[in-house]
Structure 1
Amino acid sequence: MTASVTEFTVDPWDPGYAAALSVEALAELGPTSAELVLDVERDAADWKPVDPPPGTVAPEALLIADGVRRIDARVWVHDPSSPMPIPGIAASYAAGIVECGPSGARLAALEVGRSLFSASPYTPEVKTTHATYRAERASGPSMDELSLALQRQVTQLEVDLAVKYRSLADDLLLVDGPLRGRTHLPRTVGYIKTHHTAYLPGPQSAVVSALAPGQRTPVFLMGTSWRRHAWYVRLPVRSSAPWAGIARCEAGADLSVDEVVRLADTLTLVLPSLAGVDYKDPRAPQNLVPIGGLEKLLRHRLGDPALLYRALRTAAHS
């Protein structure tokens, strides 16, 4: 008797990372609690893969911004108004911008910050022999609240760099991650590599799975705790996994349909040439080559974690 063979597909991402599309998202391919307006660019019943139209041109410069963060030490702030010490974190973070143009990619801007986060109004600035950690207030003492305060600082550093660096009227800024906190920046798109929630109903989600490399879905409007335009795009990939090579892009909700469609077409044209390759990056192709290179450089610039940890301990006992 011949045993039956069950077909399966291996997700192209390294198993050390979360899958590009999580099991939870696959289970939510029906309606979600997100507010959706599907007929922004075309009727919901008429969704199909979209190719960049003839005449679509690359921007004068594509700027890619990213940030990294690292907790150097967990700390306790001795607050005179509290009977118990208040937990905090000492963290290093960095943000940078890569400019991509006809001649290649180059580092355009980079900045490192260090802060001590705590809910205490008595959070001190900490000066060590190797670095100074500025005092920053968190909304509460839990690790989630401390982590959120750190992430807000990373986002603000990215925003500050973008405002200082951008000079071309025809540039386009791609930020790694959701656009939240950066919707006020002009000509800016958020780039999401992993999918923890499948926002689209079944028929439109099937269009995502049907995308060929270099194609996108129609633009739609989505709202959770905040509103934004969005679309999905597929990058070049060898895998046949349902959402292999799929990234989601986000743009401001206040943009006109023409503006959003122009951004979507431009990025769908440009992104395939920047896609990561699987023999170099376990998160390929969604982890774009400039993003991977920038992340590596930013982490290096954070400094030696063991050295900073020892410096913080020395400062605490001085």
Structure 2
Amino acid sequence: MTNTARPAPMRFHVDGWDPTYGSSVENAEGLDNAVGDSTARVIPDVETVTADWKPISPSYGPAPGAVLFVDGVRRVEARIWIEQPPPADRPAPVAASHYSSANAADATMALCASYAAGTVCCCPGYGAHLLMVESRRGLFTTAPNAVDVPTPAGTYRAHVTADDMEENLAVLLSSALQGSLRDLEVLVATNARTALDGHGVAGGSDLLVVDGPLRGRTHLPRALGFIKSHRTAYLPPDLHAMVAHLAPGERTPVFLMGTSWDRHAWYLRLPCTPGPPWAGVVRLECAADVPREEAVALAELSQRVLPRYAGCEYKDPRAPQNLVPVAGLERELRRRLGNSSLLARALRTAAAA
């Protein structure tokens, strides 16, 4: 007779703590990324020799046919605990439906999260408009028995990542979530360029600006990573000090830098009111494998294009670095994530079912 028994359904429990404050039982050790000295490999003399480094003023040139701004948002709705099957030599707890210390010891923490990515297009015929949005819900875990979690508010698709005993579990799961968000950003960027065909934009004339580092997206052509905040001094001290003397619209020469990945980079000061030495300064990145001349051309293009999109201080506390199209895109993406309280309630209902 054929055995048609179904595997036991995945049982999980929702952590009662608001995920904003972390888990009620997690160890926070290792979660803080302390600011330290940079270990990046830096080659300053890409555009000009180090001895001739000085602020570079914007140059005149053609504007791109369209500027595409790509961003993504993420939100952890709840931390859950997925019960693990007991070892073969140990019987299951008597009260399997009760969250007792016996099954709690065999539970693995996981994240239930919503994330979304989108593209705002700025082109002559249409102005600034939302071009592409995609949203997802996901369950991120190392539990091998994890399956999709259907809820009244949507299904959380299971993403099982390999466990790493050397890595803090919360950091590991957060990285898995960030990886999925990055993949979604690549998807909307690629689809947005396809959608440009109906906008009268000449092929290959657009510029793609990704909010955040370009890591994982360096294969996208004509793409820039836009970094708003600075935690590390990558340049040698004398060149790093020069950044504070940039005038609005000026940039540093292009340099090559490498950490766990390589890229061309340069600093640019956006128009802003006078303030601290690094007020209005952003770092731009492009792929390391583009020719030197193309990297310099992208740096010059960033000077001509990005200052016009700088945020206003009276409208945005992150101005001018938080570009106006990106700020609007973030608001729309967060709206499309849904109500966090309702989503958490839906997860609790699913856990009790």
TM-score computed with the length of structure 1 as normaliser: 0.88
Instruction: Specify the code of the residue in structure 2 equivalent to 1:291.
Output: V
Query: Would you say the 8 A contact 1:231–1:250 is kept in 2?
Result: yes
2:233 aligned residue: 198
The Cα offsets for residues 275-312 of structure 1, whole Å up to 9 and x where unpaired, read as: 00110100000000011110011001000001011111
The reply to whether residue 40 of structure 1 matches residue 46 of structure 2 is yes
1:17 aligned residue: none
Matches within 5 A, 1:299-314: 299-314=334-349
Size of the alignment, in residue pairs? 290
2:116 aligned residue: 94
| Shift, 1:252, TM fit | 0.4
1:179 aligned residue: 214
Counterparts of 2:330 and 2:347, CA distance in 1: 25
Task: List 4+ stretches of structure 1 deviating above 4 A.
Answer: none
Counterparts of 1:154 and 1:35, CA distance in 2: 27
1:219 aligned residue: 254
Query: Would you say the 8 A contact 1:139–1:145 is kept in 2?
Result: no
The reply to whether residue 151 of structure 1 matches residue 209 of structure 2 is no
Instruction: Specify the code of the residue in structure 1 equivalent to 2:56.
Output: V
Matches within 5 A, 1:41-56: 41-54=47-60, 56=61
Decide which moves more: 99-108 or 194-203. Answer: 99-108
Counterparts of 1:139 and 1:81, CA distance in 2: 20
| Shift, 1:57, TM fit | 1.8
**3-state DSSP of counterpart to 1:210:** coil
Query: Would you say the 8 A contact 1:139–1:149 is kept in 2?
Result: no
Segments of structure 1 that go 5 or more residues without pairing to the other structure are: 1-23
Counterparts of 2:274 and 2:150, CA distance in 1: 50
2:73 aligned residue: 68
1:6 aligned residue: none
Instruction: Specify the code of the residue in structure 2 equivalent to 1:80.
Output: P
Percent of pairs identical after alignment? 52
Q: 1:106 aligns with which of 126, 129, 145?
A: 129
Counterparts of 2:127 and 2:312, CA distance in 1: 17
Counterparts of 1:310 and 1:104, CA distance in 2: 40
Query: Would you say the 8 A contact 2:121–2:128 is kept in 1?
Result: yes
Counterparts of 2:261 and 2:334, CA distance in 1: 30
Decide which moves more: 166-175 or 281-290. Answer: 166-175
Counterparts of 2:241 and 2:86, CA distance in 1: 57
Query: Would you say the 8 A contact 1:129–1:311 is kept in 2?
Result: yes
The reply to whether residue 134 of structure 1 matches residue 157 of structure 2 is yes
Instruction: Specify the code of the residue in structure 1 equivalent to 2:127.
Output: G
Counterparts of 2:340 and 2:261, CA distance in 1: 36
1:7 aligned residue: none
The Cα offsets for residues 87-126 of structure 1, whole Å up to 9 and x where unpaired, read as: 0010000000000123521100001100011101211101
TM-score computed with the length of structure 2 as normaliser: 0.79
Instruction: Specify the code of the residue in structure 2 equivalent to 1:77.
Output: I
Counterparts of 2:221 and 2:172, CA distance in 1: 29
| Shift, 1:207, TM fit | 2.1
Counterparts of 1:138 and 1:275, CA distance in 2: 38
1:283 aligned residue: 318
The Cα offsets for residues 137-166 of structure 1, whole Å up to 9 and x where unpaired, read as: 133371101100100011000001112221
Instruction: Specify the code of the residue in structure 2 equivalent to 1:98.
Output: V
Instruction: Specify the code of the residue in structure 2 equivalent to 1:153.
Output: S
Query: Would you say the 8 A contact 2:132–2:191 is kept in 1?
Result: no
Segments of structure 2 that go 5 or more residues without pairing to the other structure are: 1-33, 88-104, 195-202
Counterparts of 2:141 and 2:41, CA distance in 1: 35
